[in-house]
Amino acid sequence: MLTSFHSRPGRRRFLAGAAAATATVLAPAPFVLARPAPIRIGVLLPYSGTYAMLGTAITDGMKLSLAQAGETLAGRPVEYIIVDSEASPQQAPQNTRKLVVRDRVDVLVGPVHSGVALAMAQIVGARGAPLMIIPNAGADALTRELCAPNVFRSSFSNWQTGYPCGKVMADDGHRSIVTITWRYAAGDEIMGAGAEHFEALGGRVIKHIRVPFPDVSFQAHLSEIASLAPDAVFAFFSGGGAVQFVRDYAAAGLKARIPLYGPGFLTEGVAGAQGEAADGIRSTMHYVDDLDIPVNRRFRDAYRDAYGREADVFAVQGYDTGTLIARSATAVDGDTSAVGDMAAALEGIRLEGSPRGAWQMSPAHNPTQTFYLRDVVDGRHRVLGVAAEALADPATGCTLA
Amino acid sequence: MTAAQPLLAAVDVHAGYGQHPVLHGVDLAVAAGESVALLGRNGMGKTTTIRALIGLTPISGGSVQLDGQPVTGLPAHRIARLGVGLVPEGRGIFPNLTVAEHLAVAARSSGGRGPAWDRTAVLALFPRLAERLDHLGTQLSGGEQQMLAIGRALMTGPRLLILDEATEGLAPRVRAEIWSVLARIRGEGVAILIVDRDLPQLLHLCDRAAIVVKGRIAFQGTAAALAADRAMQQRWLGV
Amino acid sequence: MDLAGFLVQLLNGVQAGFLLFLVASGLTLVFGIIGVINLAHGAFYMIGAYLAFWLTGLTGSLLAAVVVGVAVLVVLGIAVERLAIGFLYNRDHLQQVLLTFGLILVLDDLQRLIWGSDFHSVPVPAVLSGAVALTQQQDYPVYRLFVSAVCIAVALGLFVLIQRTRVGMAIRAAASNREMAEALGIDVGRLFTLVFALGVALAGFAGMVAAPISAVYPGMGDRILILAFVIVVIGGIGSVKGAFAGAMLVGIADTFGRVLVPEVASMVMYGVMAVVLLWRPQGLFGRPA
Amino acid sequence: MIALGSRARAVLAACAALSVLTAFPWIGGEFYVDLVVRLMILAIFAMSLDLLIGYTGLVSFGHAAFFGIAGYTLASLTPAAAPANLVVVLPAALVASALAATVIGYLSLRTAGVGFIMITLAFAQMLYYVANESRAFGGSDGVLILFRPELTLQGRPLLDLEDPTVFYYLVLACLAGVLLLLRSLVRAPFGRVIRAIRIDDRRTRALGFATGRYKLASFVIAGTLAGLAGFLEAAHGGYVSPGALSWHQSGLVMAVVILGGMGTLYGPILGAFAFGLLQDQVQDWTEHTGLVVGLFVIAMVLLAPRGLAGLLSGVLSGALSGAPKTRERPAAPRGPR
């Protein structure tokens, strides 16, 4: 885990960069190698708390991408100014201002948590600068009601991750399901999308079980599910909650009786911790580790070489974020003050080199991308097919389109 | 004054609470097997003297020796284990322990230094406690609590028993019983340092007496001498 | 809810209660005996879970991990008491609250330094990994039943230790009147160190036993801390018996709250606590102050 | 003589601090002005808790409840497309906090000591879960407040709080106002009674004071002022989340009060600035903020039991020889009696 912090710059590095820039101005011109001011990338991601692992993977993916671009963008060196968001929405406005106002970053990357994202997007959207790229947070509103010209997302909307799963369950012949998730916005958005789709295809939702967020005692709900005896269970939890839910589900003997479905996050990044209990769980996701395309294999090798760990979907989102930054900075030839032009360069952009397979930026600034159907075998995800091709978020309420 | 090497010897002891000094140089000695009455009006420093001697109140100056060994600054439990038993003001009964547990928790081998008291011996001394073995501390009468406090102190196998107001608030009959028990304990060779209001009984029990006045020992001498000196009693004890 | 469903949920509640008791007992001991409000109790629970994860990985056996882990925690507890808590017995409770609040921050960060931020899990030992059939649709994991048995054993052990042994008497004596206990030759300082270490070990032990049925992750101690406080207060501060009753009450109320009133489920136990306190401010088994 | 000297030095220090704060928007730069606003809000929050902990002897572990309620009140009264009117939302937020404090205080004050600590925690946690799980309040993601309230009189804008400088002076004025209010309060007869309650509730009651009413009054005043802080924080950040009601928030402000020095009004202010600045600085040079801040807190408890205020009064009175004396208080009763 610590490897990711070796190049953590903080303020000292920032000051060093500033000093170098000053020296460039003051020193007699002919004797100085022109060293342009660095492009400052403000990163607001969690490095502690529940989402620390995600923040680290995103950062590493992004750094890998920009390192492959040669550590310079249109001739300007890249400098990271990293702030730990602790995934705490309360600190979000303050941290955002720190990066945007004090450090005057050229690009803002973050966050993981939807609540943090809503606060950040509001501030950055209202200021019209800088360019902001959301590498994870899936809150639907970010690319719907709250969409803004300078705010982009390189990950997914919650709606996208749940919607395809409804069809998968119907296609597998299930007529009735129980949904279970935490009682919070992401849970409602993901489960809502999947359940609606399932009902539209003729299925019936027996019950929506909502667990207090971020509680992880599921035993009572599992007993309830056993009594309700649905055809299938549609579940969304992430992180520690996902680990425990999947293990408890198997330990209660439900796995053998009632198949478990969910958005990819139910097993993504935690399948190892879930062990055998995860085997056979079907999920839909915009990325699969074993996706057999050349870009993905190259990406995974490079990531492993650089960090000694396996890449995951968060690393991919970080990687694509890096690509978006590079494309936008190159488009304005390093003149990051032209935020509008940077944003324009990302409008409708198609990322052929994404490890998840090519995807396109929608008019509402959300990836239009393929969702794969996968299951887990021996702790690894296996591609079973495509659940939804080029799936776009409905972007209801976004005025950009 | 008495034996060549007293059991307990306090020299020029200073002590107090926070920034309020109470003792300004107490000198006191108790010989093995001897009983000494510690007298003085309220607020003169009797209880503080006792607390300082057994390590409950930190000593800011002077020294205390037990058997010639310096014990100044030792924690209370170390001093207790050297053979000093305490029957404190207010009795210090544990509300959540039964009578039997009080005796058990205090019991320790005295290392052959003091007379060995065991449960049987203590219960023989206070037959009433034997009937109350399973009662909690809170369920005892005042007299029973006092007996338990004394019995408990004896279980530690003390060579020196210190009693602070051991008969206060008790019915006359119970008091009489306590005094007679103290006499028996004295008879076993246990040294006694005692604070009480009952001067005649004290003078009857004790070999010697010391009077504390404003944090110093104003008088130290035989009980008989104090008994004879009405003027001194009047002056320092107000009797 | 039919009868079978009711009984299954009751079992769930009781089982949850047992585990909660394990956590709360250490807190109530430390709270009741040495008068320290240990906010870091949950952090020690988390450290225990991480030790279980780490040591199980090293030794391949949860039992070995628990044995070594408890030893580590006892040492940790002694160190914390000697270096910090021990200086605060005569001070305001608030100072202890603040100190242990600082301790949470330190322990959380140490955990991250040592084990990183990944989620981990501890496999259920093979012997205990099965399930027993309760009804036609319901199985019950053997390990959860085993955890209940362990908790009962610990409860009995604590009862014997406190009520029946000489050390237990000394602990009770020192808790009610420290100076008097000292004057009887009891080394109260060492006893308090022991009690604190015991509390830490109990918290960590709970974390270790819970590790196979809960994920091991950063910050897992937070929620458990508040729960343990609720239980201790419901039961009466310092009363192990009360902690048991409180844990059962909370476990059962929480379980049925989730199923019957899911909209307000997380408030149920706080409601129970408020009602109990308003009815008996000293808690179910506490003595009036 | 010495007392007078230290008094004069204290007044001097206060004036210096006030003038620095007044001039700060011109010297601080946008970011630090923003930071100081946050610190001043934390200071108001901490002072309000100090009235309870330091003066009345009521240790509330649920003070964040009132802080959060005011924030949520602002959020729910702010229209989607326009700023709310300060004249309406500020009183509304304060009233909401005061009402909550009245109800919670009335019920909680039936307990005492550790029971009080816990029942206040319980109420705050209940509110936390209401916010955390209700869709109307944005659940765990919280609610955005898209516009800071503005002060308009008959349609004419008087104060534009979107202007950072204006907002800064509003917060500074609130800080000064709260300080003066609490100062006169604790010096008034009311203050003497609550301090007597802190030392000995029973004896104060025996003297004929209805201590229950005084405690409730103190609780409501503290809750209302916490509401002021919560209102300002929500307006400042444009965002309110269940975190504002959480026990972490209650713990943090308690740490600030104790760290700063209980029972002094300037202590909590010192604590807020020290704690906030430390956290901000540490964040810049290590990701292990908790380790550094935690060790600092532990060291402060062990070495400076009277908090920063105690240290500072040591400096001001020139009595630097030896650590400040611990205020001796009888050990709290422990265990069943």
- On chain A, the residues whose CB falls within 8 A of the CB of D30 are 101-102
The span from the CA of C254 to the CA of C246, in Å, is 12
Residue A106 and residue A149 share a domain: yes
The span from the CA of A371 to the CA of A373, in Å, is 7
pLDDT at D328 over 70: no
Residue A261 contacts residue A376 (beta carbons within 8 Å)? no
Judged by CB atoms closer than 8 Å, whether chains meet at C137 and A53 is answered as no
Residue A190 and residue A277 share a domain: yes
Domain residue ranges of chain C, discontinuous segments joined by + = 15-122+138-279
According to DSSP, residue A4 is labeled G
D318 pLDDT band, cuts 50/70/90, is low
The span from the CA of C209 to the CA of B229, in Å, is 75
Of A269, A285, A301, at which residue does a domain stop? A285
Helix/strand/coil for C16: helix
C168 lies within 8 A of chain B by CB? no
Provide the number of structural domains found in chain D.
Answer: 1
How far B139 CA lies from chain D's nearest CA (Å)?
A: 13
C185 lies within 8 A of chain B by CB? yes
The span from the CA of C249 to the CA of C242, in Å, is 10
Which amino acid makes up residue B19?
Q
The neighbouring-strand residues paired with A246 are none
> Range with the lowest mean pLDDT among A247-251, A260-264, B232-236?
B232-236
Contact exists between C and D (3 or more beta carbon pairs < 8 Å): yes
Q: Which long-range contacts (CB under 8 A, 24 or more apart) does B219-224 make?
A: B220/B1, B220/B27, B220/B28, B223/B37
Residue C10 contacts residue D311 (beta carbons within 8 Å)? no
Residue B181 burial (CB count, 10 A): 18
A24 pLDDT band, cuts 50/70/90, is very low
How far B224 CA lies from chain D's nearest CA (Å)?
A: 42
Closest CA to B67 of B155, B156, B160: B160
> Chain A to chain C, count of Cβ pairs less than 8 Å apart?
120
Q: Which long-range contacts (CB under 8 A, 24 or more apart) does C142-145 make?
A: C143/A251, C143/C212, C143/C213, C144/A219, C144/A251, C144/C15, C144/C213, C145/C15
D135 lies within 8 A of chain C by CB? no
* Owning domain of residue D231: 6-19+37-320
Of A285, A320, A346, at which residue does a domain stop? A285
Instruction: Take residue A344 and report the two structure tokens written for it.
Output: 């324009």
β-bridge pairing A107-109 and A39-45: parallel
Question: pLDDT value at position A119?
Answer: 83
Question: pLDDT value at position A94?
Answer: 76
Helix/strand/coil for A178: strand
Judged by CB atoms closer than 8 Å, whether chains meet at A1 and C117 is answered as yes
Domain residue ranges of chain B, discontinuous segments joined by + = 8-237
Closest CA to C19 of C140, C169, C144: C144
Give the residues of chain C that fall short of pLDDT 70. Answer: 288-289
Query: For residue A175, what is the domain's CATH number?
Result: 3.40.50.2300
> Range with the lowest mean pLDDT among A90-94, A139-143, A328-332?
A90-94
With a CB cutoff of 8 Å and minimum separation 6, the contacts of D295 are C102, C106
- On chain C, the residues whose CB falls within 8 A of the CB of D111 are 277-278, 281
A48 lies within 8 A of chain D by CB? yes
pLDDT at A23 over 90: no
Of A285, A315, A345, at which residue does a domain stop? A285
For chain D, helix, strand, coil in percent to 5 are 75, 5, 25
β-bridge pairing D151-153 and D156-159: antiparallel
pLDDT digit string, tens, across residues B185-215: 999 889 999 999 889 999 999 999 999 999 9
Give the residues of chain B that fall short of pLDDT 50. Answer: 1-3, 112
Residue A103 and residue A57 share a domain: yes
- On chain D, the residues whose CB falls within 8 A of the CB of A182 are 140
Q: Would you say residue A13 lies in a domain?
A: no
What number is the average pLDDT over the span D146-155?
81
Contact partners of A by the rule of 3+ C-beta pairs under 8 A?
C, D
Provide the number of structural domains found in chain A.
Answer: 2
- On chain D, the residues whose CB falls within 8 A of the CB of A209 are none
pLDDT at D200 over 60: yes
Residue C225 contacts residue C42 (beta carbons within 8 Å)? yes
The span from the CA of B161 to the CA of B147, in Å, is 14
Which architecture, in CATH terms, is C15-122+138-279? Orthogonal Bundle (1.10)
Helix/strand/coil for A244: helix
Which amino acid makes up residue B58?
P
Helix/strand/coil for A236: strand
Question: pLDDT value at position A21?
Answer: 39
The span from the CA of B171 to the CA of B168, in Å, is 9
pLDDT digit string, tens, across residues D295-308: 998 998 899 888 88
Residue D229 burial (CB count, 10 A): 30
CATH 1.10.730.10 fits B8-237, yes or no: no
pLDDT at D222 over 70: yes
pLDDT at A27 over 80: no
Question: pLDDT value at position D182?
Answer: 96
Helices and strands (DSSP H and E) totals, chain A: 12, 15
Whether ipTM tops 0.85, in short, is no
β-bridge pairing B35-39 and B59-66: unpaired
Of residues C184, C187, C188, nearest to B152 (C-beta): C184
The span from the CA of C78 to the CA of C91, in Å, is 20
Q: Which of A181-185, A249-253, C74-78, C84-88 has the highest mean pLDDT?
A: C74-78
* Owning domain of residue A181: 159-285
Query: For residue D99, what is the domain's CATH number?
Result: 1.10.3470
The span from the CA of D294 to the CA of A54, in Å, is 25
Task: Calculate Rg over the CA atoms of chain B.
Answer: 17
Question: pLDDT value at position D330?
Answer: 37
What number is the average pLDDT over the span A240-267?
91
Helix/strand/coil for D135: coil
Of residues A10, A97, A182, nearest to D31 (C-beta): A97
pLDDT at A92 over 90: no
Q: Would you say residue D152 lies in a domain?
A: yes
Q: Would you say residue D183 lies in a domain?
A: yes
Instruction: Give me the half-sphere count of Cα atoms (radius 13 Å) on the Cβ side of residue B128.
Output: 13
Judged by CB atoms closer than 8 Å, whether chains meet at B96 and D325 is answered as no
| pTM strictly above 0.90 | no
Question: pLDDT value at position D336?
Answer: 32
- On chain B, the residues whose CB falls within 8 A of the CB of D331 are none
Residue B105 contacts residue C184 (beta carbons within 8 Å)? yes
Among chain C residues, the shortest Cα distance to B155 is held by C184
> Range with the lowest mean pLDDT among A113-122, D40-49, D283-292?
D283-292
Residue C258 contacts residue A221 (beta carbons within 8 Å)? yes
pLDDT digit string, tens, across residues A192-247: 999 999 999 999 999 999 998 878 889 999 999 999 999 999 999 987 789 889 98
Buried b (16+ CB within 10 A) or exposed e, C51-85: bbbbbbeeeeebeebbebbbebbbebbbebbeebb
Residue A324 burial (CB count, 10 A): 25
